[in-house]
Chain A
Amino acid sequence: MERLSYTLDAPIPAGGTKPRAIVGIVASGNLEVLLERVLAPDRCTVEIATAAHGFGEVWAAVVADFVARRGAGGLRIAINDGGARPDTVALRLAQGARLIAGDAP
């Protein structure tokens, strides 16, 4: 198990007021994302526990793009990864941001 941690300036605050949201499942090729609204609205932290080693550079890029493009300010995000592909990670993060903003099922 590899643990990675990122703290970023977040230009877009998370929408809505929900305190927390969870998307995805921990399974092979998938991941679980827990989002909690506990930080200042211009900060975002992402903590990752992953079964796949050696993908730090890819995670950094996926997380940076997510925070730059989606409403992630104020969120502490914890990821349990079962070796998901980067496109799945990006999708789950976007789904999480939508869910906590409250405009999705």
Chain B
Amino acid sequence: MRDWARQGAARTARIAAGAPFARGKVVAASDLAPFLEAVLRPGDRVCLEGDNQKQADVLADALAEVDPGVIHDLHMVQSGIVLPSHLDVFEKGIARRLDYSYSGPQAARIARMLYGGQIELGAVHTYLELFARYFIDLTPQVALIAAVSADRDGNLYTGPNTEDTPTVVEATSFKDGLVVAQVDRIVDRVPRVDIPGDRVHFVVEAGKPFYVEPLFTRDPGAITETQILTAMLAIKGLYAPYGIRRLNHGIGFNTAAIELLLPTYGEKLGLRGKVCTHWALNPHPTLIPAIEAGWVEQIHCFGSEVGMDDYIAARPDIYFTGADGSLRSNRAFCQTAGLYACDLFIGSTLQIDLAGHSSTVTTNRIAGFGGAPNMGSDPRGRRHPSEPWLKAGAEADPDTLAPLRRGRKLVVQIGETFGDGNVPLFVERLDALALAEKLDLPLAPVMVYGDDVTHIVTEEGIANLLLCRNADEREQAIRGVAGYTEIGRRRDAGMVTRLRERGVIRRPEDLGIDPLDADRSLLAARSIKDLALASGGLYRPPSQFRNW
């Protein structure tokens, strides 16, 4: 007779093994390493909550301290490899296999460890893809998560950085896995219940807030004239003609420049209320001037941003907030929103090849993916029409009967033709291919596939790939905005001229933009201090961004 409840029994056994370290559900921080040795099993699939922003740092440090003779061969399934301890567990032989999404802050070390064979890589996923696999074939047996506070029943308050937690807990707890939460403090009553206590088995009082990366703060003081020019091109050459109301911005100085140009340049073009009203976006400080000027109707957030809590709480008509007044973010929902309900994604990358594929992998750095691959892909499951989606679909496929024609999401890569240290943005061959060969991966980690990209914006102009009818035109359209890079200098000048005549390539002057007007005086805020002032003092920049 088959036992149909082995997983539940296994969880009961884990809880029993952890109970000697706990009073009720509460485990003392000083007992964490032996506690983890008691509840974990070799070979477990473990989600150590490392999100894009918030980190279960105390649990991560404790996991890195367990005895690899007792706990080994763990399979880590987490979206972010952010803290040094996330990799220490591999170095020490506690963990062996990794499935993840993003590794920006550990890009150099993870590259060394992958090349050195210290990590057995499953795959580098997009966020939604990894979350999806939590429910199909990468369900965690143990989740080590982070929240702000808990009550004695294990009800959790995540505060503004809810991020991945509901998704991780849903997959783990309802499939008989064990959930352990670190919190800053245990309270009698949590301000709001973000995770119900019956899904949480143990709670650790860390006595300090979890670590958060301020990932989305861009200092307006560092925005260049060229970035301002690309922002002008995007606003006048894309947002205005397509009527982009629903969108997502990646991180980067080009998109920060767009945000800061809305109340100035955008206002002059008469676009307020016509573009940029509904967003899937983290709480970017650089959007404050546009919000204050009445551009934005609402924003749903993947996570929060350091210093933005008071501003968000004071603008509940704009943001999603809970009964306690603070932001409720949710990465899985916001990624879904960005995928299905936004008409445009615009972001930057490190390399673009002649087919339009882009990647942030370079020879020595493997940053994984942030939100870009989901945001920057055309959702084949979309069925609702909108003006930009239909217009882009018609440009790509003018011959199909309109009611049977798929629309297209606008996926825009924006950047200067040369990046830091005069490194060209455009390349013959992505470094991601060399990585795939070296690690014997069946897939190169491509961030945005060329067939999803609709436009490339550089200081030289806009290439509209929707209007290209074959691979040759596509290549020349890309070369035609590649500036003085080797890719750009090797263009077929005649073909580029013809593409420009057809509007496939549009130069600043074709759009009535004088590059000499791209001046920092156009920025609605020119410093972090300006942003704080624009918020009425509600935005409190983290100390590393303060110079006053």
Contact = CB atoms under 8 A, between A and B. Distances in A.
A58 B484 contact: yes
A98 interface: yes
Nearest to A62: B484
Contact of B418 (A86, A94, A95, A104): A86
A54 B518 CA distance: 29
For chain B, the bracket of interface size reads 10 to 19
Nearest to B225: A91
Contacts, number: 40
A86 B422 CA distance: 8
A94 B484 contact: no
Interface residues of A, number: 17
Interface string A33-59: 000000000000000000010010110
Given A52-B422, A58-B484, A62-B484, A87 B226 contact: yes
Contacts of B515: 91, 94
B416 A87 contact: yes
A90 B459 CA distance: 10
A98 B518 CA distance: 14
B498 interface: no
A34 B405 CA distance: 56
A62 B289 CA distance: 36
B489 A57 contact: yes
Nearest to A97: B516
Contact of B226 (A52, A58, A61, A88): A88
Given A62-B484, A94-B516, A95-B516, A85 B489 contact: no
Contact of B422 (A55, A57, A61, A98): A55
Contacts of A58: 484, 489
A83 interface: yes
Contacts of B489: 57-58, 61
B393 interface: no
A83 B489 CA distance: 20
Interface string A61-88: 1100000000000000000000101111
Interface string B406-440: 00000000001110001000000000000000000
B502 to A, nearest CB: 22
B417 A104 contact: no
A58 B424 CA distance: 12
Contacts of A104: 516
Contacts of B459: 87
B224 interface: yes
Given A61-B489, A62-B484, A85 B422 contact: yes
B39 to A, nearest CB: 52
Given A61-B489, A85-B418, A98 B484 contact: no
Contacts of A62: 484
Contacts of A55: 422
A104 B489 CA distance: 31
B483 interface: yes
Given A61-B489, A91-B225, A86 B483 contact: yes
Contact of B417 (A52, A57, A83, A86): A86
A86 B426 CA distance: 14
- For the complex of A and B, the 8 pairs showing the least CB-CB separation, nearest first, are A86-B484, A85-B418, A87-B226, A87-B459, A58-B484, A61-B484, A87-B416, A98-B516
10 contacts: A52-B422, A55-B422, A85-B416, A86-B417, A86-B483, A86-B484, A87-B418, A88-B226, A91-B225, A91-B515
